[in-house]
Amino acid sequence: MDINDIYGIIDKFDASGCSELNLEMNGVCLGLKKTMHEAICDVPVKKDIVRINTEQEQTVTTIQDVQPQSDEHIKEIKAPLVGTFYTAAGPDEEPFVKPGQSVHAGDVIGIIEAMKLMNEVTADCDGTVKEVAAENGTMVEYGQPLVILN
């Protein structure tokens, strides 16, 4: 076995899905080992997330069907990014807004968690909360209505 043979074996080993190779041939021992990198995901994946997404899609469809199209006084506060929507600062905390509550421009109406960062969602106008359209802990899409104001 010469150096060109060894380089050829190394090339084939790199291209393979193997993580370790031990070869003994004509008194020459060759040991190769590589670290297999797994996909890294910072967000823990839970089976419940898929079920929540399905429920959320049904809820959004229902909200869109119920919304009056001709009422000019209704304003929607929409999701500025994709992520998990939270109605309160913590599990045991009071929600930021409730139906019937007055809000002013700049008031925090919820939080969207994206890439381990908590992003406050604020009202862009004054009004009274008619409905909190997105449920706590559900995934929201960009532009999805979160809170509906009168």
My answer on whether 74 and 27 are in the same domain is no
Confidence of residue 26 (pLDDT cuts 50, 70, 90): confident
Q: State the residue range of the domain holding 107.
A: 47-149
131 part of a folded domain = yes
39 part of a folded domain = no
pLDDT at 49: 47
52 part of a folded domain = yes
pLDDT at 109: 95
End-to-end Cα, the chain, rounded Å: 81
E strands present in the chain: 20-25, 28-33, 75-78, 83-86, 102-103, 108-114, 117-122, 127-132, 138-140, 145-149
Indicate the number of domains in the chain: 2
My answer on whether 122 and 74 are in the same domain is yes
My answer on whether 59 and 130 are in the same domain is yes
42 part of a folded domain = no
22 part of a folded domain = yes
Q: What is the CATH classification number for the domain harbouring 67?
A: 2.40.50.100
41 part of a folded domain = no
Tell which residue, 78, 128, 139, has the closest CA to residue 98: 128
Q: What φ, ψ does residue 111 adopt, rounded to 5°?
A: -130, 140
Angle at 39 between CA 33 and CA 45, to 5 degrees: 140
pLDDT tens, position by position, 35-77: 765 555 555 555 444 454 444 455 555 555 555 555 567 899 9
- For CA atoms 119, 125, 128, 129, the dihedral sign is negative
Q: Which residue has the higher pLDDT, 107 or 44?
A: 107
38 part of a folded domain = no
